[in-house]
């Protein structure tokens, strides 16, 4: 097993960790009550004041926060820090086309970087490594999150972003990349391209670690990657609302470490909101304990997992969440981008030539996910002129990409082509085997 970035914190006795969490929970509840009109009103509606929170168990008295709250208070209505203390914004797309905005103080950036420095160290990485960051940069949190975390650890960073795969493979060889962070589907594509180039990742590069996330991937995919390349493949987890990518597995590969001094983690029944027993599957709920621009109280992530509070064989005492088993909503993840059917609908219904019926078909062609949107046209919108149809197809495709931030194949069909349903319409057909 590897060493530790901060052994005092990472191996803190459970009693001391729980005491620290309790102190920070009481602080953040008081902080949002004093600085957030949103939470002050929520607490009032729930009949709660900061004085009612005395122990960790009292977290159950606090109201949940949901992604809809962030959208309803767009852009910064839920922020708890003044504008002149916010040093960065990240923005993610929303189900209705309305994004969620996340802000960071300088301290929040430091906490985010610290979280990933601990995580990357737990993978056996150090300042002697070269980390190739193949997540998207910009408004998406993945690229900059890993970038700052690796730099905080002292490693050299190669900020390649996404695409230009042959060049990425060349740089991997030329600069001695030892770790790569990207989506698992993109790494499968890298493997495929490398083979066509006559490059063996096992023998012709120094790559030893893959940090894969931003989309679901199975243990079978991990085994295939490791068998074909000789690297160790690790899961990474986080969401933009709570900062971005934050946590990874350690070398034991038995759950993702969630740093308890930064976050209080709960697992609840998705239907009732009541806590589930340890070891049972439920919806993840996070309370930020050390975040100031946008602290969140009992934020319902929507991801389903199992939590363990047992001390890991690596010696870290912080809780672990197991591989994400699914979501409570209908979100699709296509090449690392979140896509909601309601986003697609909001685009299509703005185009007069488009009828009321449409569907999404997701396939995996080779290592990459492909999304097709079948669109039924209105009688007036349908034309027997190829040029007119191509023009409309390009229009629909452009509008979709503008909202989804991902290209989708558009298939225009005649009126009456898509099957009708007397009940809830089946909008999505996902043919992938994740």
- In whole numbers, what is the pLDDT of the chain averaged over residues? 92
pLDDT higher than 70, residue 96: no
**Among candidate residues 425, 284, 250, the one with its CA nearest the CA of residue 355:** 425
Domains of the chain: which residue ranges? 7-329, 337-430
- Domain 7-329 CATH superfamily: ANL, N-terminal domain (3.40.50.12780)
Lowest mean pLDDT among 2-16, 75-89, 192-206, 337-351: 337-351
Query: Encoding tokens for residue 312?
Result: 């890991």
Mean pLDDT, residues 126-131 taken together: 98
Return the pLDDT at 93. Answer: 63
Lowest mean pLDDT among 9-13, 168-172, 387-391: 387-391
Mean pLDDT, residues 382-391 taken together: 86
Alpha-carbon span 291 to 250, nearest angstrom: 24
Q: Compute the C-alpha angle 106/107/111, nearest 5°.
A: 125
- Give residues with Cβ within 8 angstroms of 289, minimum separation 6: 21, 24, 25, 27, 28, 261, 262, 263, 264
Tell me the angle at which helices 106-122 and 141-153 cross, rounded to the nearest 10 degrees.
70
Mean pLDDT, residues 232-258 taken together: 96
Q: What percent of the chain has pLDDT over 90?
A: 73
Cβ proximity of 406 and 369 under 8 Å: no
How confident is residue 258, by pLDDT bands cut at 50, 70 and 90?
very high
Alpha-carbon span 15 to 23, nearest angstrom: 13
Q: Compute the C-alpha angle 372/374/378, nearest 5°.
A: 155
Helices (H), 103-243: 106-122, 141-153, 165-174, 184-197, 201-204, 219-229
Alpha-carbon span 136 to 139, nearest angstrom: 8
How confident is residue 318, by pLDDT bands cut at 50, 70 and 90?
very high
Cβ proximity of 123 and 2 under 8 Å: yes
Query: Encoding tokens for residue 334?
Result: 């296509």
DSSP string for residues in 62-117: SPPB-HHHHHHTTTTTT--S-GGGEEEEEEE--TTS--EEEEEEHHHHHHHHHHHH
How confident is residue 100, by pLDDT bands cut at 50, 70 and 90?
very high
DSSP string for residues in 188-206: HHHHHHHHHHT--HHHHS-
Reported pTM: 0.80
Query: Encoding tokens for residue 5?
Result: 């970035």
Lowest mean pLDDT among 28-32, 53-57, 102-106, 163-167: 163-167
Cβ proximity of 255 and 309 under 8 Å: no
Query: Encoding tokens for residue 74?
Result: 């767009």
Tell me the angle at which helices 386-404 and 341-348 cross, rounded to the nearest 10 degrees.
130
**Among candidate residues 260, 250, 267, 261, the one with its CA nearest the CA of residue 307:** 267
Which CATH code of 2.40.30.10, 1.10.530.10, 3.30.300.30, 3.30.70.890 fits the domain covering 337-430?
A: 3.30.300.30
Strands (E), 380-427: 409-413
Cβ proximity of 186 and 335 under 8 Å: yes
Do 337-430 and 7-329 fall under one CATH topology?
Answer: no
Cα distances from 361 to residues 17, 82, 372, in angstroms, run 46, 44, 5
How confident is residue 326, by pLDDT bands cut at 50, 70 and 90?
low
Higher pLDDT, 236 or 384: 236
Alpha-carbon span 292 to 281, nearest angstrom: 30
Lowest mean pLDDT among 249-258, 295-304, 319-328: 319-328
**Among candidate residues 62, 26, 57, 18, the one with its CA nearest the CA of residue 309:** 18
Lowest mean pLDDT among 278-282, 288-292, 338-342: 338-342
Return the pLDDT at 95. Answer: 44
Q: Distance from first CA to last CA of the chain, Å, rounded?
A: 29
- b/e 177-189 (16+ beta carbons within 10 angstroms → b): bbbbbbbbbbbbb
pLDDT higher than 80, residue 94: no
Helices (H), 293-360: 341-348
| DSSP-assigned letter for residue 376 | E
**Among candidate residues 305, 132, 153, the one with its CA nearest the CA of residue 209:** 132
Residue range 198-243, pLDDT digits in tens: 999 999 999 999 999 987 677 877 888 999 999 999 999 999 999 9
Helices (H), 296-378: 341-348
Return the pLDDT at 422. Answer: 43
Q: Do β-strands 209-212 and 179-182 pair in parallel, antiparallel, or remain unpaired?
A: parallel
Query: Encoding tokens for residue 363?
Result: 């396939």
How confident is residue 433, by pLDDT bands cut at 50, 70 and 90?
low
Alpha-carbon span 234 to 211, nearest angstrom: 5
């Amino acid at each position: 097993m590897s060493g530790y970035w901060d052994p005092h914190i990472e191996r803190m006795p459970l009693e001391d960790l729980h005491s620290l969490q309790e102190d920070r929970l009481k602080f953040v509840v008081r902080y949002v009550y004093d600085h957030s009109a949103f939470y002050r009103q929520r607490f009032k509606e729930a009949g709660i004041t900061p004085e009612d929170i005395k122990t960790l168990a009292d977290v159950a008295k606090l109201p949940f926060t949901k992604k809809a709250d962030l959208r309803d208070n767009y852009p910064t209505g839920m922020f708890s820090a003044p504008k002149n203390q916010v040093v960065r914004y990240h923005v993610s797309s929303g189900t209705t086309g309305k994004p969620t905005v996340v802000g960071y103080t300088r301290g929040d950036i430091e906490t985010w970087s610290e979280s990933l420095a601990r995580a990357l160290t737990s993978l056996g990485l150090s300042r002697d490594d070269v980390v190739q960051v193949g997540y998207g940069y910009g408004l998406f949190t993945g690229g900059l999150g890993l970038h700052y975390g690796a730099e905080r650890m002292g490693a050299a960073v190669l900020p390649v972003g996404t695409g230009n795969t042959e060049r990425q493979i060349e740089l991997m060889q030329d600069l001695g990349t030892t770790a790569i962070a990207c989506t698992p589907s993109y790494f499968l594509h890298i493997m495929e391209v490398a083979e066509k180039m006559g490059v063996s990742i096992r023998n012709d590069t120094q790559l030893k670690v893959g940090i894969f996330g931003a989309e679901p991937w199975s243990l079978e995919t991990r085994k295939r990657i490791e068998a074909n390349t000789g690297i160790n493949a690790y899961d990474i987890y986080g969401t933009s609302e709570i900062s971005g990518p934050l946590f990874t597995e350690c070398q034991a590969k038995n759950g993702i470490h969630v740093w308890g001094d930064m976050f209080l983690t709960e697992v609840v029944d998705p239907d009732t909101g009541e806590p589930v027993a340890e070891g049972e599957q439920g919806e993840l709920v996070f309370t930020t304990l050390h975040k100031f621009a946008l602290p969140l109280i009992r934020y319902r992530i929507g991801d389903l997992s199992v939590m363990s509070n047992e001390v890991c064989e690596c010696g870290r005492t912080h809780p672990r969440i197991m591989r994400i088993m699914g979501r409570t909503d209908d979100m699709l993840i296509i090449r690392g981008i979140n896509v909601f059917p309601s986003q697609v609908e909001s685009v299509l219904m703005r185009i007069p030539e488009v009828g009321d019926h449409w569907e999404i078909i997701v396939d995996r062609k080779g290592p990459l996910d492909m999304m097709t949107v079948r669109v039924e046209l209105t009688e007036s919108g349908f034309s027997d002129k190829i040029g007119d149809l191509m023009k409309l197809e390009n229009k629909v495709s452009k509008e979709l990409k503008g909202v989804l931030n991902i290209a989708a194949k558009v298939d225009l069909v005649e009126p009456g082509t898509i099957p009708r349903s007397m009940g809830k319409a089946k909008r999505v057909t996902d043919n992938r085997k994740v």
